[in-house]
């Protein structure tokens, strides 16, 4: 029932379409990193919630701990938010990989740019979390110019970082975000 409501809002009110691997909820993927890009505006969080709800694939997300203050923290935790300390002292990759290793079922959504500003290379934390935890990466575009999201099949990192990142970044190259000039363009 919830899935139908999310889908109704996404398609009828916003006019958004989901393409590609729409059957994520039917697949028995218990653990995965979902990367959604381009992330250019705060509204992307709400679009992401509608997309995941429409597909029926639950996931958590991480956000800087500074955002988790009352009453916003209640809302963020309710929709799957996990606060993280992004200081250089912490090894966030190992911290998150340990969460995957401790749980039977855990999916995490991230913005691979690590910011809402223009970037020409993705940060690699998501990649190393996937490698460390032995889980797939699922890519999701947020294409505002065509009002659609393309969802990839699960991708398992190989031993070739350069080729893997080239493949992942190519998936998102040229996709227009909410703020067009901040959209990801591969260098």
Which of 40-44, 56-60, 72-76, 113-117 comes out lowest in average pLDDT? 113-117
Taking the whole predicted model, whether its pTM rises above 0.85 is answered as yes
The CA-based angle 153-21-35, given to 5 degrees, is 60
**What are the pLDDT digits (tens) for 88-103?**
666 778 888 888 889 8
Rounded to whole angstroms, the Cα distance separating 19 from 148 reads: 7
Average pLDDT across the chain, whole number: 88
Non-local CB neighbours of 26 within 8 Å, separated by 6+ positions: none
Which of 1-5, 15-19, 182-186 comes out lowest in average pLDDT? 182-186
Rounded to whole angstroms, the Cα distance separating 145 from 99 reads: 36
Q: Determine the average pLDDT of the residues in 122-137.
A: 92
Q: Determine the average pLDDT of the residues in 41-51.
A: 91
**What are the pLDDT digits (tens) for 115-129?**
777 777 888 989 999
156 or 101, which is more confident: 156
Kindly tell me if the per-residue pLDDT of 20 is higher than 80: yes
23 or 15, which is more confident: 15
Q: Determine the average pLDDT of the residues in 162-169.
A: 95
pLDDT of residue 129: 92
48: which strand partners? none
pLDDT of residue 89: 63
120 is written with which tokens? Answer: 């020409």
3-state SS assignment for residue 2 = helix
Kindly tell me if the per-residue pLDDT of 26 is higher than 80: no
Q: How confident is the model at residue 61 (pLDDT cuts 50, 70, 90)?
A: confident
pLDDT of residue 141: 95
140 is written with which tokens? Answer: 């999701």
Non-local CB neighbours of 84 within 8 Å, separated by 6+ positions: 62, 63, 64, 65, 90, 92, 95, 96
pLDDT of residue 62: 82
């Amino acid at each position: 029932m919830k899935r139908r409501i999310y889908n109704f809002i996404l398609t009828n009110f916003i006019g958004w379409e989901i393409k590609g691997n729409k059957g994520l909820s039917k697949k028995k993927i218990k653990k995965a990193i979902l990367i959604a890009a381009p992330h250019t505006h705060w509204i992307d969080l709400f679009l992401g919630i509608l997309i995941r709800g429409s597909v029926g694939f639950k996931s958590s997300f991480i956000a800087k701990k500074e955002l988790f203050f009352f009453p916003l923290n209640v809302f963020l935790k309710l929709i799957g938010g996990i606060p993280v300390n992004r200081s250089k002292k912490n090894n966030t990759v190992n911290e998150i990989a340990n969460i995957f290793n401790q749980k039977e079922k855990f999916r995490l959504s991230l913005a691979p740019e690590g910011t809402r500003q223009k970037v020409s290379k993705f940060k690699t934390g998501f990649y190393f979390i996937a490698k460390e935890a032995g889980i797939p990466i699922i890519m999701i575009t947020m294409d505002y110019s065509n009002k659609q999201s393309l969802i990839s099949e699960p991708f398992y990192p190989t031993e070739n970082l350069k080729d893997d990142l080239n493949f992942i970044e190519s998936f998102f190259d040229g996709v227009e975000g909410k703020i067009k000039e901040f959209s990801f363009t591969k260098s």
